[in-house]
Structure 1
Amino acid sequence: MRAATLSLKGRALKYLAAREHSRVELVRKLAPHAESQEEVEKVLDELESRGFLSAERFAESVVHRKAARYGAARVKAELSQHKLPEDVTRAVTQSLKETELERAQALWSKRFGEVAQTPAELARQMRFLAGRGFSGDVIRRVVKGSADHD
């Protein structure tokens, strides 16, 4: 059993060396290789206590990877799938909300670059930003061109 635990820990460290993972992801990835759920939990508890596994670092990693392309709502939804502590999710999504207008403006400029001339084009631009999780208020300000004037 000791060799199996080391193997499990080795697998977990290999995953964490590639990128930050949430506890939920590691449970899912390690479960097929473990003799029991308790064994997986024990390994993850040890990694957490030693600082190798961190919910805060995982949340920051997701934000770093997704913030330029997605709004706060979309990133928050992804974080909620990982069952992170509420305070961690709240802290990172609050920082996203503060920069949401600028990020939406940059994404919109890169994709469209000019204010829509027809209702159909306006709807298309709004759907694009809504699909990426930006708030309705931010979307209206960006597509109408008023984000530049605030």
Structure 2
Amino acid sequence: MFFKTYQKLLGASCLALYLAGCGNGGGGESPIEMSVNSEGAFQIDSKADRVTIQGVKLNRGNCAVNFVPVREVPISIQDFKDMASVYKDFDIKEGLANMENKISQLEQKGVMMEPQTLKFGESLKGISQGCDIIEAEIQTDKGTWTFNFNR
């Protein structure tokens, strides 16, 4: 009698542990969608009332992420590096110092970009020139989501 109760309890425990290990950090449907094209452009769309994009990693970190071509304010570390390069080329020391400081702050925080909050239906567009995007990992305040693009 004791053995059968033990077996049922063990079986239920294993099932619970198995199910708890499934899913994504948030334990549900992704709050975002992502689309890419063959030129390395991408778009992240919010499917939630509010979601904060905290990081974008393309092809496991092998592709640089830029937002500046479609936005006027630098967001990613690569955007800040590109701006710093321009300031360096034109010998604009104050601008260069500001960009280097911003890069350092982001790196110290261990983040890839300035967080961007999107409301339902809003988008964040970017590009990774010269990169064929196969995989994207998007870190949000609601969990981390991986998207695969088989071509």
Q: TM-score range by the shorter chain?
A: under 0.3
Q: Which has the higher contact order (CA 8 A, sep 6+)?
A: 2
Return the structure number with greater strand share.
2
Return the structure number with greater helix share.
1
State TM-score, norm by structure 1. 0.24
